Structure 1
Amino acid sequence: MIKKSPLKMVDPPFEFGRPNFIGRDFLLQDPTMPRKIDSFLIDTLGDLRLFYPEFNSWVSNVVIPSIISGERSIILEYRQGDLAGLAILKDSLAEKKLCCLQVMPKFQGSGIGLSLFEKSFDLLNTKSPLLSISEEQKNSFAKIFKYYGFEFSEYYHEYYRPLKNELSFNGLLK
């Protein structure tokens, strides 16, 4: 899922500075870090519940455990000392997926999204990761999907929300 919305700015609750990458090693350096990252993601990206009602549960029960297992990671971009955007990636044998990409309101239109796409491609070792968006976002992302040559794959009726479609690109949702 990729989303541009008027989200609030949340400072990372890390004692370890402002990391550019959160992976297994980062989470395991402190026993309280998984809980801190969980809270940070939910606070920072909480408005995504409007498009993905189970978002908080997904973060707590899927993202955090799969970062610990080494299957997922997070890229963070900062500008002027502030969090400008982040991407959540899944890199498994079965799937290379850009799960979530968010540019903070203050930085929308500044190239942060392009930077996050490029870094995601590098980390996933592919220029065509699987990703999905809600139907309301189709027009917002048409230009960037065309730029990167993303191929529409499938409509999923009521996949996340009643009466709404989810659209996948570069592959099928599992």
Structure 2
Amino acid sequence: MTTEITLDLPTAEDTRALGRRLGGLLRAGDLLVLTGDLGAGKTTLTQGLGEGLGVRGPITSPTFVIARVHPSLQDGPALVHVDAYRLGDGAELDDLDLDESLDGSVTVVEWGAGVAEQLSEERLELILVRSGSAAEDQQGRSARLRGIGTRWDALLRQVSRP
């Protein structure tokens, strides 16, 4: 089953707010695969996810460390934040042993399209697209959320409500 919605995100704060809404609905075992150009808001969205999940921050791009684990400050799952930009293929992602932590955490893979799908048959794919040429904090975006599997239908209905 595949469910898809598209949301307009006029500001970076709207992108972060989407992350907070999503984060409040996620559970251990969820996989999110983020796609978008540089500056499209992948890390901003992940910061909101971290706020919604109640994990320890700060959440910054893990480009040079490849993966960071943000433990829960509450009684929820940890956030595993991965940047697959520098990874050549799924085999290099496999070397990170993410499947070992997948069941007990929420895993977010930036630049994960084409490499992270192997981690789970059920996942949420988010494609962020910038619009205009304004400063990054005021730049409009749109987000296409595509849920793969039965888990995501009801969740995406909740997220699409104002």
TM-score after normalising by structure 1: 0.32
Q: Which has the higher helix share?
A: 1
Query: Which has more radius of gyration?
Result: 1
TM-score, L = length of structure 2? 0.33
Higher RCO (CA < 8 A, seq sep 6+): 2
